A and B are shown apart, each in its own frame.
Chain A
Amino acid sequence: MTAYLLRRLVGALVVIWGVATISFVLVFLMPGDAARMYAGPRAPEATVERIRQEWGLNDSLPVQYVRFLGRAVQGDLGRSTRDGRPVLQAVIERVPVTIQLALAGLSVELLLGIPLGIIAALRPGSLIDQFTTVLSLVGVSIPQFAVGLVALYLFGFVIPIFPLGGYGTIAHLILPALVLGFSGAAFYARVLRSSILEIANEDYIRTARAKGLGARAILNRHLLRNALLPVVTLIGLDLALLLGGVVVIEAVFGIPGIGLQAWTAIRNQDTPMIMGTVLFASIAVVGLNLLIDLLYLALDPRVRLNAA
Chain B
Amino acid sequence: MLPRRGTFLFLLLITVAMLSSVLVGAQEENILRILSNADIRTSDPHVAYETETWPTSALFYIGLVRWNDDNTALIPALAETYSVSDDGLVYTFTLREGVKFSSGRDITSADVKWSFERMFRPETLSPTSYMFEAIAGVPAFIDGSATEISGIEIVDERTVTFTLQFPVWSLIQRFALPPGFIVPEEAVEAAGDNFARMPMGAGPFMLETWESGVRITGTRNPNYYEAGKPFFDGFEMQLGVEPSIGILRIEGGEADIALDFVPNAEYPRIVADAAISAQLLPTAGFANIDYMIFNTTIEPFDNPDVRRAMNIAVDRQRLVQILNGRALPAEGPIPSSVLGNNSTLTPWEYNPDEARALLESAGVTEGLTVNMLVNTDPTNLSVAQVLVADFAAVGVTVELTSVDNAQFLDTVINQPDTLELVLTNWYLDYPDPSNVFEPLLQCGGSYNWGQFCSESLDGLFATANSNPPGDARWAAFSDVEAAIVEEAPWVFLQHQANYYFTSSRLLIASDPATLLRWDASTLR
B residues near A38, Cβ cutoff 8 Å: 125, 127
Let me know if B242 is at the binding interface, CB within 8 A. Answer: yes
Let me know if B346 is at the binding interface, CB within 8 A. Answer: no
Closest to B8 in A: A107
Query: Mask for A155-169, Cβ within 8 A of B = 1, else 0?
Result: 011001000111111
Let me know if B1 is at the binding interface, CB within 8 A. Answer: yes
Let me know if B140 is at the binding interface, CB within 8 A. Answer: no
| Residues in B1-56 with C-beta less than 8 Å from chain A | 1-3, 5-6, 9-10, 12-14, 16-18, 20-24, 39, 41-42, 49
Let me know if B212 is at the binding interface, CB within 8 A. Answer: yes
Query: Mask for A167-195, Cβ within 8 A of B = 1, else 0?
Result: 11110010000000000000000000000
> In the bound complex, how far is the Cα of B197 from the Cα of A79, in angstroms?
14
Smallest distance from the beta carbon of A66 to chain B beta carbons, Å?
24
Let me know if A215 is at the binding interface, CB within 8 A. Answer: no
Evaluate whether A47 and B127 lie within 8 angstroms (CB atoms) in the complex, with A84-B196, A170-B18, A228-B2 already known. Answer: yes
| Residues in B58-85 with C-beta less than 8 Å from chain A | none
| Residues in A89-105 with C-beta less than 8 Å from chain B | 90, 93-94, 96, 99-100, 103-104
Evaluate whether A36 and B240 lie within 8 angstroms (CB atoms) in the complex, with A107-B9, A168-B22, A173-B17 already known. Answer: no
Contacts beyond the supplied A32-B409, A54-B125, A224-B2: 5 A-B pairs with Cβ under 8 Å: A43-B128, A43-B130, A100-B17, A164-B252, A170-B17
Smallest distance from the beta carbon of A189 to chain B beta carbons, Å?
12
B residues near A254, Cβ cutoff 8 Å: 238-242, 245
Instruction: Please give the residue numbers on chain A whose beta carbons come within 8 Å of chain B beta carbons, in ascending order.
Output: 30-33, 36-47, 50-51, 54, 79, 82-85, 90, 93-94, 96, 99-100, 103-104, 106-107, 110-111, 114-115, 149, 152-153, 156-157, 160, 164-170, 173, 220, 224, 228, 250-256, 260-261, 264, 267-269
Smallest distance from the beta carbon of B100 to chain A beta carbons, Å?
28
Determine which of B1, B129, B213 lies in contact with A224 in the assembled complex, contact meaning CB atoms within 8 Å: B1
B residues near A54, Cβ cutoff 8 Å: 122-123, 125
> In the bound complex, how far is the Cα of B298 from the Cα of A123, in angstroms?
71
Closest to A264 in B: B39
Evaluate whether A37 and B406 lie within 8 angstroms (CB atoms) in the complex, with A103-B13, A110-B9 already known. Answer: yes
Query: Mask for B271-312, Cβ within 8 A of A = 1, else 0?
Result: 000000000000000000000000000000000000000000
Contact A100 B13 (CB under 8 A): yes
> In the bound complex, how far is the Cα of B1 from the Cα of A220, in angstroms?
8
Contact A31 B447 (CB under 8 A): no
Let me know if B156 is at the binding interface, CB within 8 A. Answer: no
Give 20 CB contacts A-B under 8 Å: A32-B409, A39-B125, A40-B127, A42-B127, A42-B130, A42-B447, A79-B193, A85-B212, A103-B9, A110-B6, A114-B6, A115-B3, A165-B241, A168-B22, A173-B17, A251-B240, A254-B238, A254-B239, A256-B239, A260-B213
Contact A31 B2 (CB under 8 A): no
Contact B17 A36 (CB under 8 A): no
B residues near A39, Cβ cutoff 8 Å: 125, 127
> In the bound complex, how far is the Cα of B238 from the Cα of A38, in angstroms?
23
Number of chain B residues whose Cβ lies closer than 8 Å to a Cβ of chain A:
65
Contact B193 A31 (CB under 8 A): no
A residues near B3, Cβ cutoff 8 Å: 111, 114-115
> In the bound complex, how far is the Cα of B410 from the Cα of A41, in angstroms?
9
A residues near B245, Cβ cutoff 8 Å: 149, 152, 156, 164-165, 252, 254
A residues near B409, Cβ cutoff 8 Å: 32-33, 36-37, 41
> In the bound complex, how far is the Cα of B478 from the Cα of A204, in angstroms?
91
> In the bound complex, how far is the Cα of B412 from the Cα of A105, in angstroms?
43
Let me know if B186 is at the binding interface, CB within 8 A. Answer: no
> In the bound complex, how far is the Cα of B5 from the Cα of A104, in angstroms?
13
Query: Mask for B387-405, Cβ within 8 A of A = 1, else 0?
Result: 0000000000000000111
Contact A267 B406 (CB under 8 A): yes
| Residues in B113-132 with C-beta less than 8 Å from chain A | 122-123, 125-130
Contact B17 A104 (CB under 8 A): yes
Let me know if B413 is at the binding interface, CB within 8 A. Answer: yes
Contact A42 B446 (CB under 8 A): yes
Contact B49 A40 (CB under 8 A): yes
Closest to A105 in B: B13
A residues near B12, Cβ cutoff 8 Å: 103
B residues near A167, Cβ cutoff 8 Å: 214, 240
Determine which of B24, B240, B254, B410 lies in contact with A33 in the assembled complex, contact meaning CB atoms within 8 Å: B410
> In the bound complex, how far is the Cα of B248 from the Cα of A157, in angstroms?
7
Evaluate whether A251 and B242 lie within 8 angstroms (CB atoms) in the complex, with A83-B41, A84-B196 already known. Answer: yes
Evaluate whether A31 and B24 lie within 8 angstroms (CB atoms) in the complex, with A41-B413, A94-B213 already known. Answer: no
> In the bound complex, how far is the Cα of B214 from the Cα of A267, in angstroms?
20
Let me know if B382 is at the binding interface, CB within 8 A. Answer: no
Closest to A111 in B: B6
> In the bound complex, how far is the Cα of B12 from the Cα of A51, in angstroms?
46
> In the bound complex, how far is the Cα of B22 from the Cα of A96, in angstroms?
13
Contact A149 B212 (CB under 8 A): no
Smallest distance from the beta carbon of B163 to chain A beta carbons, Å?
21
Contact B20 A96 (CB under 8 A): yes
Let me know if B469 is at the binding interface, CB within 8 A. Answer: no
Closest to A104 in B: B13
A residues near B439, Cβ cutoff 8 Å: 42
Let me know if B219 is at the binding interface, CB within 8 A. Answer: no
Contact B248 A99 (CB under 8 A): no
Let me know if B326 is at the binding interface, CB within 8 A. Answer: no
Determine which of A115, A251, A264, A269 lies in contact with B406 in the assembled complex, contact meaning CB atoms within 8 Å: A269
> In the bound complex, how far is the Cα of B410 from the Cα of A273, in angstroms?
20
Closest to A102 in B: B13
Smallest distance from the beta carbon of B46 to chain A beta carbons, Å?
12
